């Protein structure tokens, strides 16, 4: 595993996401309304992407084969989601993309300058916060079947915006863990396939930041 290899593969996966997202955007875009109904396969692609990610997580040696496939599925899902938000709030996709790039650059600079150090306590805190958010989303998903909503999670109230700010912050701090994983993998001479595994992990974090950015900006503009 090399730093250049991990960086190159990260760019490859991000390029695949952007390309597949741009493709499906053009397929679904309506010149009059700007948006069509969410296609039936949308939720299927999300489910398949989730299953694929589990295979990669538990079988890192399959990352070179499955990561590009995961990126295609993720791009299709994000393309549909982005077009939906764009139909509600013009310009929001560009704002979310710019915000994601700025967060990525800021965290990378902070990591390289040792402003943020990935100590064991820091890693444990970020992991615990991430797991807590995962449980919140899972609880919200289950509550939805009983016609119930998680308080503040989808609201545009001041508290709802604060919740989104917290989620964006936690998602962003996961970048530090990704940077540290890549650096340690290179130092410990991890197997070559771990370049794809590290790129896959970084992609998940970047996508999460982008989605939370979309939600935060939408709440702020509502």
How many of the other CB atoms lie within 10 Å of CB of 195?
26
Per DSSP, the three-state class of 70 is helix
Per DSSP, the three-state class of 222 is coil
| The pLDDT value given to residue 36 | 64
Helix (H) or strand (E) holding 120: helix 120-144
| The pLDDT value given to residue 35 | 64
For residue 112, pLDDT beyond 80: yes
pLDDT tens-digit series, residues 48-101: 999 999 999 999 999 999 999 999 999 999 999 999 899 889 999 999 999 999
Closest by CA to 27, choosing from 85, 35, 207, is 35
Model confidence pTM above 0.85? yes
8 backbone dihedrals φ, ψ, rounded to 5° = -60, -40
Label residue 33 by pLDDT band (50, 70, 90). low
| The pLDDT value given to residue 49 | 93
Q: Report the Cα 188 to chain-centroid distance in Å.
A: 27
Domain ranges for the chain, please list them. 3-221
For residue 188, pLDDT beyond 90: yes
Enter the tokens of residue 111. Answer: 């990591």
pLDDT tens-digit series, residues 148-187: 888 889 899 999 999 999 999 999 999 999 999 999 999 9
For residue 213, pLDDT beyond 70: yes
Closest by CA to 39, choosing from 73, 75, 77, is 77
């Amino acid at each position: 595993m090399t730093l250049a290899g991990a960086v190159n593969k990260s760019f490859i996966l991000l390029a695949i996401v952007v390309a597949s997202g741009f493709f499906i955007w053009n397929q679904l875009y309506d010149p009059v309304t700007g948006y069509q109904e969410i296609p039936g396969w949308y939720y299927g692609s999300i489910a398949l992407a989730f299953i694929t990610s589990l295979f990669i997580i538990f079988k890192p040696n399959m990352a070179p084969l499955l990561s590009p496939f995961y990126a295609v599925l993720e791009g299709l899902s994000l393309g549909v989601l982005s077009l939906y938000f764009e139909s509600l709030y013009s310009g929001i996709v560009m704002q979310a993309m710019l915000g994601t790039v700025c967060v990525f650059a800021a965290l990378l600079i902070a990591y390289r300058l040792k402003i943020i150090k990935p100590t064991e306590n820091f890693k444990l805190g970020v992991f615990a916060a991430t797991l807590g958010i995962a449980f919140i989303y899972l609880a919200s998903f289950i509550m939805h079947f009983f016609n119930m909503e998680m308080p503040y999670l989808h609201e545009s109230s001041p508290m709802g915006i604060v919740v989104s700010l917290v989620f964006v912050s936690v998602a962003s701090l996961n970048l530090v863990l990704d940077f540290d994983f890549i650096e340690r993998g290179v130092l410990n001479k991890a197997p070559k396939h771990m370049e794809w595994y590290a790129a896959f992990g970084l992609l998940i974090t970047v996508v999460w930041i982008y989605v939370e950015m979309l939600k935060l900006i939408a709440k702020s503009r509502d």
